[in-house]
Structure 1
Amino acid sequence: MAAALIGAVEAGLIFGVMALGVYLSFRVLNFPDLTVDGSFVTGAALASILVVHGVSPWMANLAALVAGATAGLITGVLHAWGKINPLLSGILMMIALYSINLRIMGRPNIPLLHQRTMWTDLAPWTERLQTVVPGADHLIVLFVLGLMVLAMKLILDWFLKTEIGLAVRATGDSPRMVRSFSGDTRRFVVLGLAVSNAYVAFAGALMAQYGGFADIGMGIGMIVVGLASVIIGETLFRQTSLHRLTAAVIAGAVLYRIIIALALRARFLETGDVKLITALIVILALVLPEWRGGRKMTKAKPASRSLRPLPSEGGEVGASPGGRLQDL
């Protein structure tokens, strides 16, 4: 059980990077970008093929980041200059990336067994630490992933507070206002989508090295996973400041993986039910806040009745020496 929870936290940290990218596109830019399902695999595929050909796994991660940014840039160009619907532009890019990813990989699956990865580079440190601390391999993985996720979070926080980042945020909130100040919203949409998919592809590269393989179908449903992480984070950790919001998104991703790990411990559930569980989690995260809000409104209505004016000395509600007050 403990090993399953530790593995869930490790995978949750990786998905936290992807969730930051989804948060940028869906929440900040208000852009329903479905490129995520394709760019996640692009990052995994490119990193894996580079590792197989002897490239440093750390450089492979950076290459995946650039590839993801390119995919997001093309999606943005299709929408901004091609005048294609945001949803359709993401779908078109996702479909195109399926063939591109197959071209990159050369086959549907690339195993990374006996290949140099991030974790084989850290093996000497792990062996030394295990002589002192049992289970140090998981501690090393958590520490490295935690540092990476923290770095990606701080970079996104910094970017969104720069002048260009503020323009990206303004484009998502009120594009008309940006255009009124002679700003080109198309450039900011393209830039935001490039950064978003760079994060997603980077997460794909991390997941490929963590799991030890890259598969052409590993990106199916990633957009739902990202949305689940964002919604869980926003629902359970209601925050207003930017740096707390991004932290809540990462926490939502970790909590999502823990929920999945605990759910799969049930006897009547199988590993093939992961997508169903994910859909149910998203539905609950969306519906519960609405139910809470509805109950609060229902409780507030009887209280509002007590605010009616009290009868005056004349015995009539709202009466005054000058006559009865008109209802507004």
Structure 2
Amino acid sequence: MLSEIALYGAFETGLIYGLVAFGIYLSFRVLDFPDLTVDGSFPLGAAVSAVMIINGWNPWLATGAAIIAGMAAGAVTATLNVRLKILNLLASILTMIALYSVNLRIMGRPNIALLSEETVLTPWYDMGLAFHQVPVVLFFIVAVVVLILLWRFMESETGLAMRATGANPRMARAQGIATGWMIILGVALSNGLVALAGSLFAQSQGAADVTMGVGVIVVGLASLIGGEAVLSPRSVLRALLACLIGAILYRLAIALALNAEFIGLKTQDLNLITAVLVTLAIVLPGARHSVKSFFARS
């Protein structure tokens, strides 16, 4: 069984990675754009906000700047694809590689400590909540606000144009939609959300590190696919809820696996656990459908 602190920690991290899953939903599901930029935009958001915070900026302004930086990174990837005709996957890899140097340049060193600095969490510690409950409450509010705003955007005229671009770009162009700009906007928004997650993660963990984005794309995909296996994405709202639920369930599964002594897993097995969970999330829905079909024929 998980301790109370471990349980809240899983929820805290799950809510942060829910924002990552929102971003990956935009690029992978809505635009059909395989984007690996997120491995660089996650630490980019952390780096920008950390540097601004230690230089005396308001934490919320620093977080907003992190979102803008992430959007800029996503726009670069999409521009390489749309304007320079570089394959989308290759364009995202090029941007991701470049962001490693950019993040080092921004921070001036591999990591920055924030333990003694004021963050977005600081005022919430005076509200009477337990120390480990504060991040969960704040990040839940942020995740719900982002979910609602993203849902309303996807239901708007621009959002519908973006969905049409991903579903059938040729038909979208025939209807007068500027598909290139829709891709740039969508990938920019996707990476802005991931940078927001990176900023909040750095502030909750008390440090920003240039390597903290390694494997973020896998975690986001695990959250997205796992959530869709639990909650069928029949609408945009259900798809976004699936992202959030999947991220929380993923972190809970990780926490349970690492805390179950009889399994014998350790922290270094995290990537192995992730690979197994993603595989199960992909295979189980198809297996469940095959079983139903078998019994229906019987």
Shorter-chain TM-score bucket reads over 0.9
In structure 2, C-alpha distance between the alignment counterparts of 1:30 and 1:51, rounded to whole Å: 36
In the other structure, the counterpart of 1:175 is 169
Distance 1:100 1:175 in 2: 33
Deviation of residue 232 (structure 1)?
0.8
Moved over 6 A (4+): none
Contact 2:16 2:139 in 1 (8 A): yes
Distance 1:18 1:41 in 2: 12
Which deviations, in whole Å up to 9, do the C-alpha atoms of 1:136-181 show, x marking residues without a partner? 3333322211111111111111111111110000111111110111
Match of 2:136 among 130, 138, 142: 142
Tell me, in whole angstroms, the C-alpha distance in 2 between the residues paired with 1:271 and 1:111: 22
- TM-score (normalised: structure 1): 0.87
Cα distance, 1:77 vs. partner?
0.3
Please tell me whether residue 294 in structure 1 is matched to residue 290 in structure 2. Answer: yes
The answer for unaligned runs of 5 or more in structure 1 is 131-135, 303-328
SS in 1 for 2:283: helix
| Percentage of identical aligned residues | 49
Aligned residues: 294
Alpha-carbon distance, 1:182 to partner: 2.5
Q: Which residue in 1 is equivalent to 2:5?
A: 3
CA RMSD of aligned residues (A): 1.2
What per-residue deviation string (whole Å, max 9, x for no partner) do you get for residues 48-102 of structure 1? 1111111111111100000000000010000001101111011011001010011
Aligned to 1:57: 59
* Aligned 8 A contact 2:5 2:132 in 1: no
Match of 2:109 in 1: 107
CA deviations on 1:202-248 (whole Å, 9 max, x unpaired) are 00000000000011111000000000000111001114121122111
Of 35, 43, 46, 2:45 maps to 43
| Matched AA of 2:290 | G
- Where do 5+ consecutive residues of structure 2 fail to align? none
Identify which range, 183-192 or 286-295, moves more after superposition.
286-295
Q: Does residue 152 of the first structure (1) align with residue 150 of the second (2)? A: no
Alignment of 1:1-328 (within 5 A): 1-125=3-127, 129=128, 136-267=130-261, 268-302=264-298
Q: Structure 2: how far apart are the matches of 1:252 and 1:92?
A: 29
Whole-Å Cα distance in 2 between the matches of residues 225 and 141 of structure 1?
20
Matches of 1:117 and 1:80, distance apart in 2? 37
Query: What is the CA–CA distance in structure 2 between the aligned matches of 1:220 and 1:236, rounded to whole Å?
Result: 26
Structure 1 letter corresponding to 2:256: L
State the structure with more CA Rg. Answer: 1
Q: Distance in 2 between matches of 1:16 and 1:162?
A: 22
Query: How many angstroms apart in 2 are the aligned matches of 1:116 and 1:85?
Result: 42
SS at match of 1:220: coil
TM-score by length of 2: 0.96
Aligned to 1:264, the other structure's residue is in SS state helix
Q: Secondary structure at the match of 1:156?
A: helix
